[in-house]
Every structure is written in structure tokens, then in C-alpha cells.
Chains A and B, each alone.
Chain A
């Protein structure tokens, strides 16, 4: 059994450590609770799974209740994108401001396969995922850059892709006018695909964060050198997470293209898509499972309310929310709660 050790005196210790150390240090763990080895309670995990289940089930019954699927489609799309972006930003510490490059590649892969080559739908979607993975491998050398260098180069690459795609021969990729799907429209089908993609993304992220592999990724994020010294294959793990993030975005792009039935360089590689994914995930909290999902759901609702009434104010409100949240909760809502008190650490992850 774990026995309680006498508290080590910390007087005279180096004070150069993070500012709030003295209060939250050693002594703060709840003295009443038995020292469980589990950080996250099993009940918390079950509650989360149930909540996610309710969300996606309600998503599944929406088409029965209403014909206007648009809000719901995009909400699930943002959930998937925020979760996917979190895989790169929150788990391995790369903030790809050009995340939309994968989204756009996916859209175009599906467009070209389905519309130009008349491939079956599933080939179009699987092809999008493969193309997403391929593009992420192509961009993998940029992972040697850090911090905002990486973000800027990532953004530049997205813009390069946008221009290149519009320069492709128009009989192959539609040129600057883009591709319009001429096939029979089946918005419900695409909607359900989106729900499934979002659900798989959320579940995969949950499993990852609760597993030792998730911890390894975060260790690599926090200090890649030390991670290497203790024996983690840093580049392999990074690459895996990077490809995963890309595939999620490519699937979103593919389904969004099908759903809206039009793909063009401007819309499919719109940098605002990267930005929104980043913002939604950041508001919820990078590196957490719950954060990006809550961020995407919450912001989609706000977006919908403000957008429908004040289209111009919408961007202003989005900007104001981002600015205020980064100032007052730099770790996002869930991150701030985790940091604030050990009590939350049993319930949030």
C-alpha cells in the first residue's frame, strides 16, 4: 500500500520555477482522498462516453426531424477538424495554420475521382484519405521547424496548394472555376458519413489520450530531446500523429465537397478553415479530449446565432472571443480548469 511520506521541506528551494509553484506544489493533493493510482476516474470516462453517444445519436436523428441539415453538418465537420487539429497542435506541439491544405486536398481528390473519373463514391472518399496522407508525407520535412516558423511555412504551403490547384488543367481539376458534382445529390448520406467521421475521430482521440501512447506523444511535445533520451522514437511518433491529423482533415474536405456539391480553389483552401479549426480547438484546450469537442460545439452554436442575425458582426465576435480567451485562458477552457485544481483532474481529460 502507498504510505504517506513526511512532507519534504521546500524552504530555500530554487524559486526560479514557475510562478505559482509555491501554492500548488506538493501539498495540494486532496488529503481526504485515498491515493488512487488512476488520475482519471472510471466514472468520468463513462460519463464522457455517454455524453458523446448522446451527441452523435442526436446527430443521427436530426434528418428525421428537419430538412435543414446544414448547421448540423458543419457542427460535426468542425468537431472532426478541431479534434484532428488537436492531434497535431495539442499532442505533438505543431500548430499548422495551413491545416486547410489537407482539407482542400481531400476535397479535390474526391472531386477528381468522382466527377472527372466517375469513380464510385467510396473510392472517392477512401482516395481522399489516401491523398491526405500522401500530402502530409510530402509536408513532413517541415516538421523539423518549430513554433511559429512551422506555422508560417504551413500557411504558405496551403496558399501554394491553392494556387497550384487552380493552375491544374481545367479538364482535370476544373481550373479556377472548380468542380461541380453533377451526380445525384444525396445530402443525407454525406451527412451521415460526416457524423461517422466525427464520431470516429472523437473516439480515437479519447482512446489515444487515455492510453500510454497519448502520454508518449505529449512527452514528445513537452521536450523532444528528453523523450529521445528516455527511448522514444520521436520522429516516428510525430509522423504518425501528423498523418492522422491530415487524414481527418482530408475526409472532412471530401465530405464537405460532396455535401456542398461544389469545389473550388478559393473555398476549399480558404485559410479561414484552418483558423477556425485552430480557434475552436484552442478555446476548448489543446491536448485535451473534451476541449476541442466542447469548443467546436459551443462555437458552432455561437456562430449560427450571430451569423444569422449580424453577418458582418460574426467575424468581429469570433475575433473578440479568440482574443479574450487567449488573454484570460491561454490553455483554453478545459486546460484552465485542469491547471486550476487537482480536483478537476479526476473528471476532465
Chain B
């Protein structure tokens, strides 16, 4: 079994990177807009289905499906933003209201996917050449390498925008203190709209990557991804971009290593237990600021 460990660690890292990406878009939306997107996973699955249509049915390349998925889900995000966001933020309890609202969106997305694609599990079939690479004893499929590379590229891109450009700085400032930004005169509405749509686009893109890495998905796989995304985000500290990526990798590694030693079904449980333990010890997450003002 220990011979398998390097293999499992690599897999954990790849899955973890994707989980991190999953959390990253969630944490940006939550941080900047105080919106808890419970439809996160369903939109991810929508992205996977776009990949399914593009590759398995149309025979197009995964790269093209990523572009389509990005644009498609970003458009959904833009639509939701213009229809609902202001109302949600003005409601008496924005977090809970958004939680419920997006649960509604989640049900609608799942039902729509079920209606279009039926209840069967699907997978993204694309013949890579070569199918896999071998490094010493570790075999990694081409699809996974591609997913990891793209995942890292997107995370790097997001971090570049967040930490190196003026828009990213404004957005991070919005995560910390919205009112201050209003006072300074930043057009927070347009900034939020773009951030929201781009985050949703990244959700769609993540869906394509998940289609490549995970064997199969069906219209109601969404909730599982939503939960993983939330766990990852809460692990790292809500609204903390670096935390989300680190949380994702921790969760991915825990899941894969446990699956190796204790069996597949315990993989997820241990991930959850890690979350619960960390949250009970450090309620603001690994990277969360301790609040000491009273």
C-alpha cells in the first residue's frame, strides 16, 4: 500500500488543486458580495455538461469547451447579478437570504439539467495522446496533467489580478470593507458585476476540469461539489483567497489518502471531520482573522 502513496499524493494534489479552484470562485463571490452561493456545485455540473456536449457529443477539444463553459456560466452569473443581487443585499439577513435564494437556483439548475440530459451519469470522453504519462512509479493521466496545469494557470491568473492590479486591490478592499470603498468613490457596482460574472465563468471552467478529472457526473452531483467548495472555503477562512486554495489542497490530500488506507466511502467523511475539528478549534478558519473587537 505504501508503494501507492506517491501516486495517491499526486492525485490528492491534483484533486486538491481543483477543489481549491472550486473554493476560490466561491470565496470571491462571498467575500465581495456577502452572497453564499449554494448553487455553486450545480453550476459546476452545468460546466461539466457543457464539456460533455462539446467533447463527447460534438468531438470538439476540451480547450474550446472551457471557453464556451466560461462564457455560458459567466452569462448566467451576470443575469443573476442584475436580477437579484441588490435585493439580496438589502434584505434583513443577506447571508441567509442568499443561501435560500441560491438553493432555489440550485434546484432550478438541477431540474433543468435533468430535463435536458436525463438522469443518466455521463462522462467526458476525449482521446488524449498519449493517454497518460509516467514519472518513475507514478502514472498520471494526460487529462489530469492538463487539468492541473490549467487549474494552476487560472489560480495564478486570479491571484495576479487580485494582488497586482488596481481592480484586484479594489475588490480585496471590498472584501474587507464595502462602505469604505463607497466613500472613496469606487464604482463598486460595476466592479462587483464584473467580479461576479468572472467568478461564475471560473465556476463553469472548473466544471470542465472536473469533467476531465472525475470519472462521471449526473444532474444532481452538484450538491456534493457545493459542499466541498464550502468546506474548502470555510477551512481556509471565508473570503480569504489564499485560504481557499490551501484548504482545497488539504481537503484533496485528506480525501485521497484516507481513501487509500480506509476505503473510498471514508474519504469524504475524514475530509468533513477535518473541517469540523478545525472549525471548532479555530472558528474563523485557518487564515481567518481572529475578531477581537467587542
Q: Which residues of A contact B (CB under 8 A)?
A: 95, 97, 141-142, 144-145, 147-149, 151-153, 155-157, 159-160, 163-164, 166-167, 225, 271, 275, 278-279, 282, 312-316, 318-324, 326-328, 330-331
Contact B269 A312 (CB under 8 A): no
Q: How far is the CB of A278 from chain B (nearest CB, A)?
A: 7
CB-CB nearest 7 A-B residue pairs: A319-B107, A323-B104, A322-B104, A330-B91, A316-B111, A319-B108, A315-B111
Contact B266 A167 (CB under 8 A): yes
Q: A160-B273, A163-B266, A163-B269 are in contact. Are A330 and B97 (CB under 8 A)?
A: yes
Contact B283 A144 (CB under 8 A): yes
Q: A163-B266, A319-B108 are in contact. List 5 more A-B contacts (CB 8 A).
A: A142-B280, A144-B280, A316-B107, A316-B112, A328-B87
Cα A278 to Cα B183 with chains together (Å) = 37
Q: Is B268 an interface residue (CB 8 A)?
A: yes
Per-residue A-contact encoding for B72-109, CB less than 8 Å = 1, 0 else: 00000000000010011001110111011101111111
Contact B103 A275 (CB under 8 A): yes
Q: A144-B283, A327-B84 are in contact. Are A312 and B114 (CB under 8 A)?
A: yes
Residue of B111, B238, B276, B294 with most chain A CB atoms under a 10 A cut-off: B111
Q: A316-B111, A319-B105, A323-B104 are in contact. Are A95 and B96 (CB under 8 A)?
A: yes
Cα A149 to Cα B99 with chains together (Å) = 11
Cα A172 to Cα B269 with chains together (Å) = 21
Q: Contact check: which of A95, A167, A321 meets B104 at CB < 8 Å?
A: A321
B: interface residue count bin:
35 or more
Residues of B contacting A97 with CB < 8 Å? 99
Which of B130-138, B201-209, B227-235 lies on the face that meets chain A?
Answer: B227-235
Q: How far is the CB of A137 from chain B (nearest CB, A)?
A: 15
Q: How far is the CB of B29 from chain A (nearest CB, A)?
A: 13
Counted as pairs of residues, one from A and one from B, with CB atoms less than 8 Å apart, the total is: 121
Q: A163-B266, A315-B110 are in contact. Are A323 and B91 (CB under 8 A)?
A: no
List the A residue with the shortest CB-CB distance to B268: A163
Cα A151 to Cα B279 with chains together (Å) = 12
Q: Is B217 an interface residue (CB 8 A)?
A: no
Q: Is B292 an interface residue (CB 8 A)?
A: no
Residues of A contacting B103 with CB < 8 Å? 275, 278-279, 319, 322
Cα A324 to Cα B106 with chains together (Å) = 13
For chain B residues 255-278, which have a beta carbon within 8 Å of chain A?
265-266, 268-269, 272-273, 275-276
Contact B107 A322 (CB under 8 A): yes
Q: Is B148 an interface residue (CB 8 A)?
A: no
Residues of B contacting A160 with CB < 8 Å? 269, 272-273, 276
Q: Is B36 an interface residue (CB 8 A)?
A: yes
Residues of B contacting A315 with CB < 8 Å? 107-108, 110-111, 114
Cα A57 to Cα B115 with chains together (Å) = 40
Q: Is B223 an interface residue (CB 8 A)?
A: yes
Q: How far is the CB of A195 from chain B (nearest CB, A)?
A: 29
